[in-house]
Chain A
Amino acid sequence: MAYDKFKILNSSAVPLNIDNVDTDQIIPARFLKATERIGFGDNLFRDWRYNSDDSKVESFPLNNNIFKGKILVAGKNFGCGSSREHAVWAIYDYGFRAVVSSFFADIFKNNCLNIGVLPIQVSDSFLEEIFLEIERDSKNTFEINLENQEFKIKSSNKKEKFDISAYKKSNMSNGFDDIDYLINKKDKISAFSNKTRY
């Protein structure tokens, strides 16, 4: 599915300083019942964001008006657990375009790259600095430059490079996905499918 091209993003960030956030927290299974990709953002972090009577948990960062922006900053091992892409759909639908952490679970990271949410892995110490920066003033902004693979804390001008393959970078900056690439390879695939291994 086509998504917005990602070039440079300037934004403040929303902090979620918890380790091992699993995809059941990002979107609980009972909200996976849709047959189309619509409205998942409403249930992003549902059980941390709302009490069981549907009232807001005021202390949760997404409910705190001082935190805004298109960047979600989270503790290490973000997105572990279930392969549900709905977790990334919820993050995207809520309005985030990048997730920053010091460590991501594999399937989650792939899912992000496949739908146009940029996963940015930074060092533990840099992640700590980002959290401190948001704590100092939640209006402080960050710059993500995909071409240079750089995440910048704007007030201090401190930067850190992040990894992304040349292939995925090109996809993200052009809004392409893997099927756009694979569809031109069908002859090669069908030739391969006839190959027997025994």
Chain B
Amino acid sequence: MGKTLFDKVWDSHVIEKIDDGPDILFIDKHFIHEVTSPVAFVGLKNRNLKVMYPERTFATADHNTPTTNQHLPIKDRLSAMQVKTLEKNCNEHGIDFWGLGHKKNGIVHVIGPENGITQPGLTIVCGDSHTSTHGAFGAIAFGIGTSEVEMVLACQTIMQQKPMKMRINVNGELNPNVTPKDVAIYIISKLSSSGATGYFVEYAGSVFENMSMEGRMTVCNLSIEMGARGGMIAPDEKTLEYIKGREYAPKKNEWNKAIKYWSTLKTDEDGIFDKEYNFNGEEIEPMITYGTNPGMAIPISKSIPKAKKSESKSSYQKALDYMEFNEGDKMIGKKIDYVFLGSCTNGRIEDFRTFASLIKGRKKSNSVNAWLVPGSHKVLKSIRDEGILDILTQSGFKLREPGCSACLAMNDDKIPKGKYAVSTTNRNFEGRQGPGARTLLASPLVAAATAITGQITDPRDII
């Protein structure tokens, strides 16, 4: 029987199958950050255990760090404590720590790929649900809880039941100004925020084949927003081209062996999926969310729909009440107070290039507060080197320092209560970007168009 890409990678990492229980899965690479790791290290200490393979774990500070004045000590006492604890734990156990100011520091799912740690065929985990990002390289990558972080530190394994398999095919060609973010939000709006729960997704079809590696990362990143454990895309020439020469990439003879193996990592013709969806890329428009989960999304030119029959009426109304929107409202023209560009979803150099391409020669609206946060120091460096910073500055935008920032608003970057933010992030949950904040998820292009006009704007109307 044929195997899927997912089967091939999963099965080659199973150390033991437990009867009526989970598989013991070997983990190749593990990322940790300051928020979900400290209790795992406390657990190790209580059990008197060491980290089994410290060279397989990489640490960064990103979730709870300031995005201004990173050269100064962190002001927030608790945040400072978390970062210090991470550093101490890493030193004690011999783990590479890329803290604030380190040239490799940045958001965990940005720095993994850009340093070549993320590679096809690997199992990659992190105590963060957007670990699915790394699936863009044909790796099995997913988020885990802190108990599992402790397991990986202690035993380089986790115990999980093999999920079901889903393939999502998007064929055809995307229209101009439709970005990978729009493709992902479109899919989530069709499947709902729980439509892929229990599944691991493979994305296939010409739209993904033609997509850049960074675009693929955005799509895989958002897999969790429809409930999937993760999403992956078979490696191809673009994947190899992206990885080659990066610091942790295989070199010389190892590279040749690696690419031979990677070329086998694709779904066999007779590979079987438990569920399959087909979409037409030409039908996808720039998307925006109007509610309080990422499935509540529509093409930007459309009006807010009535509750679907499958939805609980009260939950739907609760979401609209929170947003102070009504069924039938048009999205275009709604006043926006904040624009946020960044996060593990859309904080890479291509996202900044896209944003800059639209704002170039235009001015930021005075009524909009714009927060632009690069995903890493390397992204920040490219923004400077490519002259994007000059374009941003001339248009009235300022750049902050790398981190997760207002995506989850753990640090001081909080959207104030009641304010509306068009955000390139991944979650529009109540209060996600600050208590009472109202988030509308969209692409970097929609964010740019909105930053210029101060109201929700279809980028196709001003390009």
| Interchain nearest-CB distance for B137 vs A (Å) | 14
| Chain B CB within 10 A, most for which of A32, A33, A84 | A33
Q: Which of B63, B156, B262, B408 contacts A189 (CB 8 A)?
A: B156
Q: A20-B293, A80-B293 are in contact. Are A193 and B155 (CB under 8 A)?
A: no
Q: Which of B16, B78, B197 contacts A185 (CB 8 A)?
A: B16
| Interchain nearest-CB distance for B185 vs A (Å) | 16
User: Which residues in window 165-185 of A have CB below 8 A to B?
Assistant: 165-168, 177-179, 181-183, 185
Q: Which of B85, B121, B143, B157 contacts A107 (CB 8 A)?
A: B143
Q: Which of A20, A111, A182, A197 contacts B159 (CB 8 A)?
A: A182
The reply to whether the CB of A35 lies closer than 8 angstroms to some CB of chain B is yes
Report how far A82 CA is from B260 CA in the complex, Å.
Answer: 36
Contact A35 B81 (CB under 8 A): yes
Q: Which residue of B lies closest to A20 (CB)?
A: B293
The reply to whether the CB of A136 lies closer than 8 angstroms to some CB of chain B is no
The reply to whether the CB of B129 lies closer than 8 angstroms to some CB of chain A is yes
| Interchain nearest-CB distance for A106 vs B (Å) | 6
Q: Which of B150, B160, B429 contacts A110 (CB 8 A)?
A: B160
The reply to whether the CB of B436 lies closer than 8 angstroms to some CB of chain A is yes
User: Which residues in window 54-84 of A have CB below 8 A to B?
Assistant: 75-77, 80-84
Chain A positions within 8 Å of B16 at CB level: 185, 188
Q: Which residue of B lies closest to A188 (CB)?
A: B15
User: Which residues in window 55-110 of B have CB below 8 A to A?
Assistant: 63-64, 76, 78-79, 81-82, 85
User: Which residues in window 1-46 of A have CB below 8 A to B?
Assistant: 1, 17-20, 22, 24-25, 28-30, 32-37
Q: Which of B145, B227, B315 contacts A18 (CB 8 A)?
A: B315
Contact A83 B154 (CB under 8 A): no
| Interchain nearest-CB distance for A24 vs B (Å) | 4
Contact A1 B43 (CB under 8 A): yes
Contact A30 B312 (CB under 8 A): no
Contact B194 A167 (CB under 8 A): no
The reply to whether the CB of B409 lies closer than 8 angstroms to some CB of chain A is yes
Chain B positions within 8 Å of A115 at CB level: 147
Contact B430 A30 (CB under 8 A): no
The reply to whether the CB of B191 lies closer than 8 angstroms to some CB of chain A is no
Report how far A36 CA is from B128 CA in the complex, Å.
Answer: 18
Chain B positions within 8 Å of A82 at CB level: 128-129, 408, 427
| Interchain nearest-CB distance for A39 vs B (Å) | 12
User: Which residues in window 103-131 of A have CB below 8 A to B?
Assistant: 103-107, 110-111, 114-115
| Interchain nearest-CB distance for A90 vs B (Å) | 13
Known: A36-B38, A82-B408. 18 other contacts (CB 8 A): A18-B315, A19-B311, A19-B315, A32-B410, A35-B39, A36-B39, A77-B193, A83-B129, A83-B144, A88-B145, A106-B197, A107-B142, A167-B18, A178-B151, A185-B15, A185-B157, A186-B155, A192-B15
The reply to whether the CB of B302 lies closer than 8 angstroms to some CB of chain A is no
The reply to whether the CB of B116 lies closer than 8 angstroms to some CB of chain A is no
Q: Contacting chain A: which of B21-29, B327-335, B365-373? A: B21-29
Q: A24-B429, A52-B436, A85-B145 are in contact. Are A75 and B315 (CB under 8 A)?
A: yes
Q: Which residue of B lies closest to A2 (CB)?
A: B46
| Interchain nearest-CB distance for B323 vs A (Å) | 14
Chain B positions within 8 Å of A88 at CB level: 145
Contact A36 B42 (CB under 8 A): yes
Contact A77 B429 (CB under 8 A): no
Chain A positions within 8 Å of B305 at CB level: none
Contact B432 A189 (CB under 8 A): no
| Chain B CB within 10 A, most for which of A76, A104, A165, A178 | A178
Chain A positions within 8 Å of B194 at CB level: 20, 76-77, 80, 103, 105
| Interchain nearest-CB distance for B369 vs A (Å) | 20
Q: A29-B408, A77-B197 are in contact. Are A193 and B156 (CB under 8 A)?
A: yes
Contact A111 B260 (CB under 8 A): no
| Chain A CB within 10 A, most for which of B36, B39, B78 | B39
Report how far A24 CA is from B431 CA in the complex, Å.
Answer: 8
The reply to whether the CB of B229 lies closer than 8 angstroms to some CB of chain A is yes
Chain A positions within 8 Å of B63 at CB level: 29, 32
